[in-house]
Amino acid sequence: MKLSLFFHCKKLPSFQIPESLVAREQEVRRKFEELDGVNLKQMADSIGKLTRDISQKLMEDGDWRGRFNLLSDALNEAVIGVLPNGTITLFNPAATSIFGWKEIEVLGRDLNEVLNTQFKYSDNFIDRVQEVVVNRNNGDALTMEVSFSKYSKESFECYYAVLRDITDRKRKEEEIEKKDSILNTLAYSASVLFKDGWETHIHEVLSSLAIASDADRCSIFKNHTSGSKVYTERIYSWARNKKINELLTPNSFEITDESFAPIYSKLVNHECFTSTVDSLRDDVSSSLSKAGIHKMAVFPIIVNDTWWGNFCYDYVNPTKSWYQSEIDALTVVSGIFGAAIERDMADAQLIAKSKNINTLHQALDAASDVIMLTDFEDNIVFVNKAFEEKYEYTRDEVIGKKPSILKSGVHDESFYKNIKRKLLAGSSWYGRVINRTKGGKQIVNFTTVTPIMNGRPTPIYYLFVNKLDRRKGLPCLMQEQSAN
């Protein structure tokens, strides 16, 4: 939307607008369409040239008011006329459409007072683009760009300008800037969260996110359940000033309580909540209000598809509003935190498992019996030290190999097939087996083979435990033995 201001100081006589000027006006209007959104000063110069031509004619004839109204309406632009002291003398229908005031309501009033701004139209501001904020009669603010020009002849002097409404553009620029700020902070935060663990630099990350999102306090809450109730506890927080930081009450509360229903209904469904603090329980609302907090945004932190906790932003500004792109960016933030927490939890579980495995390995290595573990494809995945000592193979030599490397040649293939058949049925096998060491020596063992099912229909591992049988004559017996 463009607004032209025509400042005049002399009552002009009426005249009949020549057809040449009407044609010229149409030409300027066509040029406006070409220039729209391209060059504000060119637009001001174009309307200024037309105004100068018509002003000269207006000075020659009477009935200036009617003819000037006709001109301003023909231009289809908002035209405001003022005296040098700022008193409004003209306010056309287009100005009414833009600002909401009727002409009869503003005539004789000061321009800057009506629009709640400070137009500067002295010679120092001629041919310069200004950015000004004006107000409609309902209080809504409009951000506009304005370029002024001046025309003087003898005792006649006028200022004119073209204004472009850039409210939407400024809002979009602010939205993009806010989103970029949050995402840039997120990029840094993510690198820290995944590198050193999500809790290592938490206060630094919280402060960066709060500043990027204009929040006055940023907190992380962790959930825990007790029966059907869900409690949430503040575990980390950063605030801009001491007053807000001291008033952290409540640090823990039942979020399933009816008083928190608006928040709970959103978070439990993995959705964000944005509102004023008035929507919360009275004591919570009162506590936040004492700290000067008026609005809040809460985002669920999801870990392993479960609602783990919340990311909360508190705002002092009572007029705070959220762009959708800002909400989207903050949602990504909580998602990154959830992924970082999930990763750390997985790492902790792996460390615990590793410790358990190391402990198990130590226990198995301390056993005097030969122990071997194979996977479902019969690949050796573990042997203990007793195996290395008795069979003369190192652990590295047999990992990934088949147990067939121990075959002595004493037993036929049906012997091993019978063992395998029993194991696949989920049963253990035990009996005497003659194996061979790396050096070719035969060893008679009493062997127990146990299938590890882990709740599955077929084994995923096989555990072999061999006890050396030192009784005489067993090699001969083994040649005749079949699987039990």
Same domain (yes/no): 190, 62: no
pLDDT at residue number 64: 47
Same domain (yes/no): 183, 311: yes
Same domain (yes/no): 432, 388: yes
* Secondary structure of residue 144 in the 3-state scheme: strand
Q: In the chain, pLDDT over 70 holds for what percent of residues?
A: 71
Residue 431 lies in a domain: yes
Same domain (yes/no): 379, 269: no
pLDDT at residue number 172: 81
Residue 353 lies in a domain: no
Lowest mean pLDDT among 43-47, 95-99, 353-357, 384-388: 43-47
pLDDT at residue number 120: 66
Cα separation values, 199 from 189, 238, 351, 424, 435, Å: 11, 14, 17, 47, 54
Residue 445 lies in a domain: yes
d(CA 82, CA 88): 4
pLDDT in tens, 182-209: 777 777 777 777 777 778 888 888 888 8
pLDDT at residue number 478: 41
Say if pTM beats, i.e. exceeds, 0.75: no
Same domain (yes/no): 220, 71: no
- The CB-based long-range contact list for 391-396 (8 Å cut-off, 24+ gap) reads 391/435, 391/437, 391/438, 391/443, 392/437, 392/438, 392/439, 393/438
Asked whether residue 28 carries a pLDDT value surpassing 80, the answer given is no
Q: Tell me the mean pLDDT in the region 18-30.
A: 53
H or E segment to which residue 301 belongs: strand 295-303
Its domain, for residue 429, covers 367-480
H or E segment to which residue 206 belongs: helix 202-212
pLDDT in tens, 360-377: 777 778 888 898 888 888
Cα separation values, 430 from 18, 291, 384, 464, 478, Å: 118, 74, 20, 10, 13
pLDDT at residue number 309: 93
pLDDT at residue number 121: 63
Q: Which two tokens stand for residue 182?
A: 């949050």
Q: Are strands 78-82 and 2-7 parallel, antiparallel or unpaired?
A: parallel
Q: Which two tokens stand for residue 342?
A: 């999930």
Cα separation values, 373 from 361, 392, 426, Å: 12, 17, 16
Domain containing residue 259: CATH number: 3.30.450.40
Instruction: List residues bridging with 327 in a β-sheet.
Output: none
Asked whether residue 303 carries a pLDDT value surpassing 70, the answer given is yes
Lowest mean pLDDT among 10-24, 49-63, 242-256, 406-420: 10-24
pLDDT at residue number 49: 55
Same domain (yes/no): 190, 112: no
Asked whether residue 150 carries a pLDDT value surpassing 90, the answer given is no
Residue 356 lies in a domain: no
Same domain (yes/no): 84, 150: yes
* Secondary structure of residue 379 in the 3-state scheme: coil
Assign 480 a pLDDT band (cuts: 50, 70, 90): very low
Domain ends where: 346, 381, 408? 346
pLDDT in tens, 409-439: 999 999 999 999 898 888 899 999 999 999 9
pLDDT at residue number 14: 39
Assess contact for 204 and 193: CB atoms under 8 A: no
Which residue type does 350 have? L
Q: Tell me the mean pLDDT in the region 294-310.
A: 91
Same domain (yes/no): 269, 379: no
Cα separation values, 406 from 79, 235, 290, 371, 379, Å: 102, 58, 79, 13, 13
Same domain (yes/no): 197, 300: yes
Domain containing residue 460: CATH number: 3.30.450.20
